[in-house]
């Protein structure tokens, strides 16, 4: 069993035999496994309500609240919780009920510690696998959202390019016809201000509304008009 994530595997041991609970804790504790031991099932349930756990090892038959209640609460707070039932009063009926309620495994007392260690290691591997799958799902979801955003950005960029192309075509048409219209308008004046006209076309050129060729052509027309009025 290898550690796959920094987050520890939260494990709960519930058994009215405190000595057995401590033995199981020593058996399964790891650097990446946090273990809490309860000899009272009611206290264990209160703990689960506040701190959802990943793995529960619980005795089935205990005074007062039993292991089935612990199982149900563990699954209610964390549907992915893995619950291992241990019991000295095994029966087919209780085994079937435990499995139906979502128990991962059902172990009859007395059991070998090696058997419990194998069952726990399998459960811990399953927890790591589920975490890995969730992490992969989140990464895939994030990658998908990024692709959607990129596609949207590209579509908007294409729309902007088409709009810019239309504006450029309109501007080219406007700038190509502007000199003639401007000159025609000013030729109709009785006393045209040629210096002002030259300043105006220079400003249009600086603003990018006239190309160098258009500016030269318009300036030539303007100089010709000046000579005609001398």
Q: Say whether pLDDT at 111 is over 80.
A: yes
Structure-token match 């992490």, residue found: 135
User: Where in the chain are the domains?
Assistant: 9-137, 145-228
Q: What is the mean pLDDT of residues 119-142?
A: 89
Mean confidence (pLDDT) of the chain: 79
What are the phi and psi torsion angles at 102 (to 5°)? 110, 15
Per-residue confidence (pLDDT) for residue 126, from 0 to 100: 93
DSSP for 69-130, please give it.
HHHHHHHHH-TT-EEEEEESS--HHHHHHHHHTT-SEEEESS--HHHHHHHHHHHHHHHHHH
The pLDDT of residue 205 is above 70: no
**181-210: average pLDDT:** 58
DSSP state of 51: S
| C-alpha torsion sign, points 72, 76, 26, 36 | negative
Instruction: Please state, in angstroms and rounded to a whole number, the distance separating the CA atoms of residues 139 and 8.
Output: 21
- pLDDT of residue 14 exceeding 50, the answer is yes
Class of domain 9-137: alpha beta
Select the more confidently predicted residue: 185 or 70. 70
Distance between CA atoms of residues 47 and 43, nearest Å: 6
For position 184, what pLDDT does the model report?
45
Provide, rounded to the nearest whole percent, the portion of the chain with pLDDT above 90. Answer: 41
Min mean pLDDT across 113-117, 120-124, 173-177 is at 173-177
């Amino acid at each position: 069993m290898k550690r796959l994530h920094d987050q520890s595997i939260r494990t709960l041991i519930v058994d009215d035999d405190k000595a057995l609970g401590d033995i199981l804790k020593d058996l399964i504790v790891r650097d990446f496994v946090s273990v809490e031991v309860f000899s009272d099932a009611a206290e264990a349930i209160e703990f689960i309500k506040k701190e959802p756990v990943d793995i529960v090892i619980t005795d089935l038959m205990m005074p007062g609240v039993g292991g089935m209640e612990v199982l149900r609460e563990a699954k209610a707070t964390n549907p992915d919780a893995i619950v291992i039932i241990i019991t000295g009063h095994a029966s087919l009926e209780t085994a079937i009920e435990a499995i139906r309620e979502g128990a991962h495994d059902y172990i009859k007392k007395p059991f070998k510690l090696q058997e419990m260690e194998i069952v726990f290691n399998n459960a811990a591997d399953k927890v790591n696998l589920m975490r890995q799958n969730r992490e992969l799902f989140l990464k895939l979801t994030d990658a998908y959202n990024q692709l959607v955003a990129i596609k949207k950005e590209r579509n908007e960029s294409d729309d902007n390019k088409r709009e810019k192309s239309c504006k450029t075509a309109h501007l080219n048409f406007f700038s190509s016809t502007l000199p003639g219209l401007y000159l025609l308008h000013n030729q109709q004046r009785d006393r045209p201000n040629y210096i002002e006209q030259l300043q105006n076309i220079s400003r249009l050129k600086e603003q990018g509304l006239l190309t160098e060729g258009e500016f030269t052509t318009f300036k030539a027309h303007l100089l010709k008009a000046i000579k005609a009025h001398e």
